[in-house]
Amino acid sequence: MVAARFAQGRESAVPLTVVGLNRFPVKSMLGQEHDRLEFDARGAVGDRRWALRHADGKLGSGKNTPRFRRIPGLLEHQAAYDADGLPVVTAPDGTELRPGDPLIPERFGEGVELVHEGEEGHKDASAVSLVGTASLRALGDLLGDADPVDVRRLRKNIVVETDEPWIEESWVGRELVLGGSGEGAAPLRLHVVKRVTRCVMVTQAQTGLPADNRILKTLTAARGMCIGIHTEVVAPAPLALGDTVVAR
């Protein structure tokens, strides 16, 4: 099996394939699927570069932490970029919100603004997150479902076709080489930092998906709350669906 050769710590002669690319312009809101994404040192260009910020500096999120404050219903809002590269947030009722819109504090709370990240990024733990399709299937099995868990629950940037569950966890400490197969094209290189520890976000309702409290309970009991991997960018480059993935 392809995945088995990865697990043995050797570069595989048969690379894996990118089957999903996702970008989320505004933290904790819905994003968009893409056929191709550019990556820079901070991750997918435009990914989570904007966030709702309270007057006390805390960022709007689906959870409460020392850095974040939960704002209910964020996952019912769709974020995309307009032709000028600015975020447009579409509310459930179809209202479109942009940075500086007075409707933002009315909708999300007094003093809340939609802001671009500064020196400190908006992401929780790493530049780029990744999961394998076999892990999605395995989590669905653990839940007792006929289908894989919907990847939208996990909000991963890159989805890789795999045939062995949790194989991506064996890549921690290694480097991934993605794409770069075209003439003169340099690959995207990612260093795998650690497993992704999930939070309550995976349980929350979002457009097209109901709330499901089983997911976090199941991950906690069976997987130490983890699914997928965190990575940092070693060498930026574009990445497209169908591009290869090799762990070294």
- Whether residue 53 contacts residue 113, with contact meaning beta carbons closer than 8 Å, is answered with yes
Same domain, 100 and 163: no
What are the two backbone dihedrals, phi and then psi, of residue 94, each rounded to the nearest 5 degrees? Answer: 90, -5
Q: Specify the pLDDT at position 65.
A: 87
- Is the model's pLDDT at 67 over the cut of 90? no
- Is the model's pLDDT at 121 over the cut of 90? no
Mean pLDDT (whole number) for 229-248: 96
- Is the model's pLDDT at 63 over the cut of 70? yes
How many domains, the chain? 2
Q: pTM of the entire structure?
A: 0.91
Please state, in angstroms and rounded to a whole number, the distance separating the CA atoms of residues 75 and 152.
Answer: 11
Question: Of 11, 36, 42, 4, whose CA–CA distance to 175 is shortest?
Answer: 11
What is the domain range of residue 111?
46-116
CA end-to-end span of the chain = 17
Q: What is the pLDDT of residues 149-190, one digit of tens each?
A: 999 999 999 999 999 999 999 999 999 999 987 666 899 999
Q: Specify the pLDDT at position 73.
A: 92
The band of 7, judged by pLDDT with boundaries at 50, 70 and 90, is very low
- Is the model's pLDDT at 242 over the cut of 90? yes
- Is the model's pLDDT at 1 over the cut of 90? no
- State which of 64, 98, 116 marks the end of a domain: 116
> CB neighbours (10 Å) of residue 166?
21
- State which of 116, 144, 166 marks the end of a domain: 116
- Is the model's pLDDT at 5 over the cut of 80? no
- Is the model's pLDDT at 141 over the cut of 90? yes
Same domain, 21 and 86: no
Q: Name the more confident of 128 and 181.
A: 128
Same domain, 17 and 100: no
Same domain, 34 and 61: no
Same domain, 105 and 142: no
Question: Residue 182 sits in a domain of what CATH number?
Answer: 2.40.33.20
Same domain, 36 and 135: yes
Q: Specify the pLDDT at position 120.
A: 73
Please state, in angstroms and rounded to a whole number, the distance separating the CA atoms of residues 230 and 218.
Answer: 20
Same domain, 153 and 72: no
